[in-house]
Structure 1
Amino acid sequence: MPNVDIDAIVFDVLGTLVDEPAGIRAGIRALDPALGSSEVEHLLSLWQRHVDGEQRRVREGVRPYAPSDVLDREAAQLVVDAVGADPALTAELALSGRRLPPWPDTVAGLDRLTERYRLIGLSNASRTSLLELSAHAGLRWHTALSAEEAGTYKPDPAVYRLAVAASGRQPERLLMVATHAWDLRGAQRHGLRCAYVARSVGDPPAAADRFDVYADGLADLAGQLEDADGVFG
């Protein structure tokens, strides 16, 4: 593995540290316990397609910026309408986007890494959502940054600039960690070092991708950084 000489680690949150689909599935099942697994997966896909599509429209300038709270509420409304449930349940369902379980290695992995590095959360979640999901999952940060502060969504360069500015370091002194190859490509274009962490819900690297670290989880990531003798400055 190449030497990774860094001062801070920037973490994607949704998917990388918390199991976003699992949290939304739980909200959908609570909406109607009679739903079968295939129906739940269809509704989850409906939610995800809406959020992904609207974030893309914001990045492209087709839609004015709307925080993730708004997009989650719209997605929840689509699910409620598809199920034919009481519209009054929409607000509660939308909150499932904040009640996301951490992966089994997340909390211990962050605790291990925070002994040597500054940890920065960088999420497309709104400020309020990021605060609540971090508390719910027990995530430990030095700084947590929302794309809301940039008025757009990753992989827009403006979001990665938030982490660079907060760190007070040059981009190459930061390691972006994500399970989404598209996220890492965005960070890489802005000069950050990149680490791919495999998760079952991620976007795997393509053959052409060249990231600095490939890890099976946060324990593996921490071990590789320790072996590489990364420097905390």
Structure 2
Amino acid sequence: MSELEIDAIVFDVLGTLVDEPAGIRAGIRALDPSLDDPRIEQLSLLWQQHIAREQRRILDGGRPYLTSDVLDREVARLVADAAGIDEPTAVAALALSGRQLPPWPDTVAGLARLAERFPLIGLSNASRTALLGLNSHAGLRWHQALSAEDARTYKPDPAVYRLAVTASGRPAERLLMVATHAWDLRAAQGLGLRTAYVTRPVGDPPTSSDRFDLHADDLADLADQLDRA
């Protein structure tokens, strides 16, 4: 890789900075406190699979674009039905679980440290409204937060990454995309962004053929590497 010269950092949010599965599990547990852990895991997996499948259908043109808010309401109803719950207020609360995700232990301090040196841009598949709530709940610090809703598509569509390039006013190669999802980094790399993989328990690890600029254990490690770079 050529020398790493960065003007701004672009962060994936879901999974990279917040523990999405933990937040969804908490929402399901609140839906029905009598559910045991294995059943909660099953319903959480149902949630994740439905969202991934429907976003892929939208990307493939099999379904018109819908915001993450719509998909969350849809999957909340699906999960509630599977759990045998038919209480509209409880289902509505479950649909908001995606806005109440806990940050990883290093996230808040790591962002604060990186923000001392670089403009930080959040880039998420979450809708504008969901991203606002998520940022507030998790205490995320941004100079700008961008939603895929502005491109009316979802990552890994290149149009989403172009939002960050346009907002930064910098060449793509001067931006560092940080994510725990290798697929996310590959897509950003395809548009010319530099890339940093951060290890998380819920991530999509790189394969032997991936060539990312940085690999970090957490945001503190990422900041250390950028200091040295």
TM range (shorter): over 0.9
Gaps of 5+ in 1: 229-233
The higher relative CO (CA closer than 8 Å, separation ≥ 6) is in 1
If the length of structure 2 is used for normalisation, what is the TM-score?
0.98
Who is 1:213 aligned against? 214
Who is 1:61 aligned against? 61
Judge conservation of contact 1:77–1:87 (CA < 8 Å) in 2: no
**What is the alpha-carbon distance in structure 1 between the residues aligned to residue 141 and residue 17 of structure 2?**
11
Gaps of 5+ in 2: none
Report how many residues are paired.
Answer: 228
After the TM superposition, which residues 156-195 of structure 1 pair with which residues of structure 2 at under 5 Å, given as runs? 156-195=157-196
If the length of structure 1 is used for normalisation, what is the TM-score?
0.96
Instruction: Give the secondary structure class of the aligned counterpart of 1:209.
Output: coil
Q: Deviations along 1:168-190, whole A, 9 cap, x unmatched?
A: 00000000000000000000000
**What is the alpha-carbon distance in structure 2 between the residues aligned to residue 205 and residue 126 of structure 1?**
27
Instruction: Give the secondary structure class of the aligned counterpart of 1:35.
Output: coil
Judge conservation of contact 2:31–2:91 (CA < 8 Å) in 1: no
**What is the alpha-carbon distance in structure 2 between the residues aligned to residue 71 and residue 87 of structure 1?**
19
Letter in 2 for 1:94: A
Who is 1:145 aligned against? 146
Judge conservation of contact 1:120–1:142 (CA < 8 Å) in 2: yes
Who is 2:103 aligned against? 102
| Percent identity for Structure 1 against Structure 2 | 72
Q: Deviations along 1:14-73, whole A, 9 cap, x unmatched?
A: 000000000000000111111111101100010001100110011111111100011111
Q: CA deviation at 1:123?
A: 0.1
Judge conservation of contact 2:196–2:214 (CA < 8 Å) in 1: yes
User: Aligned pair 1:80/2:80, yes or no?
Assistant: yes
User: Aligned pair 1:7/2:4, yes or no?
Assistant: no
Instruction: Give the secondary structure class of the aligned counterpart of 1:122.
Output: strand
Letter in 2 for 1:22: A
**What is the alpha-carbon distance in structure 2 between the residues aligned to residue 154 and residue 147 of structure 1?**
7
Q: Could you say what the CA RMSD is over the residues aligned between the two structures, in angstroms?
A: 0.9
Letter in 1 for 2:41: E
**What is the alpha-carbon distance in structure 2 between the residues aligned to residue 122 and residue 191 of structure 1?**
16
Letter in 2 for 1:7: D
Letter in 1 for 2:176: L
Who is 2:46 aligned against? 46
**What is the alpha-carbon distance in structure 2 between the residues aligned to residue 142 and residue 128 of structure 1?**
17
Who is 1:231 aligned against? none
**What is the alpha-carbon distance in structure 2 between the residues aligned to residue 213 and residue 22 of structure 1?**
27
